């Protein structure tokens, strides 16, 4: 295996904005890095530049210690798995997997040995004589993966390989890809717009927006400490709740509660007309289910539930709140600048399935102030990753 390094890579098609804009990413030998972001963010363009299907406008790409900008795809020794499988319909599974080995004129004994090895690993041994038309979608994708891993490639590239599968098959294939990587420790770059795939598969995630790298880190770090509002909104399902916030001395005023600020942060945000506060739905709890000792470390508030979505293992409670017109306007302008959905004046709380929350009912909710994020409206940058652990309830 080999490392992959992108050094200030840009891809421009001559328009007002580059498709990929000054991106630098380093993938260590054996690491699984996922490029994730909404459609049009440049993730597939980056993958195609790595493999050599697209030229680099500026910057450099290295595989191991080799600069590969001027090498053909064949000379880069990379294996790629596409979204549409790209299997040969007239060839049986054995020959589809063997194709890259035959292309390099490998001996017949080696071809058979490596195909049987890959087929055994992907549970395809009993299907080697079948044609692609006789296989399910998940089986076809495993054949495409087998054709990639049968090669002794320096790295493996996946371009949204699961997007054509139904939800159950996607779950199964995620497990198989994870198991395969853990066994082989392949250097892997994987493109997806599905954050579930990204969060469950990747060692690190590179979040892209409009061709620019927003943040690259572990899934847990992206979730706990997003660098900006875009990452905070993109990572997490349901998305992070965004609330208008005002500062009065060392107190942060939210529509739902007041939260004390540490002196250093209070000084940093003093004088601001408005801040954006973020609380993830799963960090809001039914206060009746929180023990007394833990409740003392957090903040409680009362709210009227508008809508309940009960999903069996979890239920989502939707709680409207009011915000001043000027704050709503600033939030709307911010949403437009960041190319995100309109910020609605409602909170989503992800509650335990045993909660007795009901539509139209008044209930007490609880959260830990340490889970509140603050963002700067003009830039979207985070101002803090942690607030103090304790805060009094709002009167």
Taking only the tens place, the pLDDT of each residue in 12-69 is 998 788 999 999 999 999 999 999 988 889 999 999 999 999 999 999 999 999 999 9
pLDDT tens across 353-375, in order? Answer: 999 989 999 999 999 888 889 99
Share of the chain above pLDDT 90, in %: 46
In the prediction, which pLDDT does 391 show? Answer: 40
Count the helices and strands in the chain (H runs, E runs). Answer: 11, 22
User: What tokens were used for 81?
Assistant: 């798995």
Q: Which domains does the chain have, with CATH numbers?
A: 4-229 (3.40.50.300), 239-384 (2.40.50.140)
Angle 138-122-119 from CA coordinates, rounded to 5°? 115
Could you tell me which residues come within 8 angstroms of residue 133 by beta carbon, excluding any fewer than 6 positions away? 89
Number of residues assigned to the chain: 395
C-alpha angle 289/294/297, rounded to 5°? 130
**pLDDT at position 263:** 76
Q: Is the pLDDT of residue 275 over 90?
A: no
Average pLDDT over residues 179-191: 88
pLDDT, the chain, mean: 86
Please name the residue that has the structure tokens 């101002």: 383
Model confidence, pTM? 0.85
Could you write out the DSSP letters of every residue in 48-110? HHHHTSS--SEEEEEETTEE-TTS-GGGGTEEEE-TT----TTS-HHHHHHHHHHHTT--HHH
Confidence category of residue 97, pLDDT binned at 50, 70, 90: very high
Q: What is the DSSP letter of 142?
A: H
Helix (H) / strand (E) element for 308: namely strand 307-310
Question: Residue 388 — very low, low, confident or very high, per pLDDT cuts 50/70/90?
Answer: very low
Q: How many CB atoms are closer than 10 A to CB 143? A: 26
Helical ranges in 188-314 per DSSP H: 195-201, 219-224, 229-234, 263-269, 292-295
């Amino acid at each position: 295996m080999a490392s992959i390094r992108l050094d200030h890579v840009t891809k421009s098609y001559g328009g007002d904005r580059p498709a990929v804009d000054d991106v630098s990413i380093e993938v260590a030998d054996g690491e699984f890095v996922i490029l994730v972001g909404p459609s049009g963010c440049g993730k597939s363009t980056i993958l195609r530049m790595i493999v050599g299907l697209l030229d680099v406008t500026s910057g450099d790409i290295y595989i191991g210690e080799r600069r590969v900008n001027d090498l053909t795809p064949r000379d880069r020794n990379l294996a790629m798995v596409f979204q549409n499988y790209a299997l040969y319909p007239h060839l049986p599974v054995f020959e589809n997997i063997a194709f890259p080995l035959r292309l390099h004129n490998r001996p017949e004994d080696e071809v058979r040995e490596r195909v049987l090895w890959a087929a055994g690993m992907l549970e395809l041994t009993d299907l080697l004589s079948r044609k692609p038309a006789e296989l399910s979608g998940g089986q076809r994708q495993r054949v495409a993966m087998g054709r990639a891993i049968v090669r002794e490639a320096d790295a493996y590239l996946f371009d949204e390989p699961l997007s054509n599968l139904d939800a159950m098959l996607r779950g199964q294939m995620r497990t198989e890809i994870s198991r395969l990587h853990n066994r082989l420790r392949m250097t892997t770059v994987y493109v997806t717009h599905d954050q579930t795939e990204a969060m469950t598969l990747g060692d690190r995630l590179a979040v892209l927006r409009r061709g620019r790298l927003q943040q690259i880190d572990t899934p847990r770090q992206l979730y706990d400490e997003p660098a900006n509002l875009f990452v905070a909104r993109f990572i997490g399902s349901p998305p992070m709740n965004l609330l208008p916030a005002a500062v009065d001395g060392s107190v942060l005023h939210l529509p739902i509660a007041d939260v004390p600020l540490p002196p250093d942060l209070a000084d940093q945000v003093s004088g601001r007309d408005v801040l954006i506060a973020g609380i993830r739905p799963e960090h809001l709890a039914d206060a009746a289910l929180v023990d007394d000792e833990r409740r003392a470390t957090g903040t409680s508030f009362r709210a009227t539930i508008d809508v309940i979505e009960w999903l069996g293992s979890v239920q989502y409670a939707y709680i409207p709140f009011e915000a001043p017109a000027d704050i709503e306007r600033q939030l709307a302008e911010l949403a437009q600048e960041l190319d995100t959905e309109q910020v609605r004046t409602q909170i989503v709380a992800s509650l335990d399935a045993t909660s007795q929350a009901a539509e139209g009912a008044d209930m007490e909710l609880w959260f830990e102030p340490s889970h509140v994020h603050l963002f700067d409206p003009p830039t979207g940058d985070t101002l803090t990753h942690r607030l103090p652990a304790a805060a009094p309830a709002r009167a």
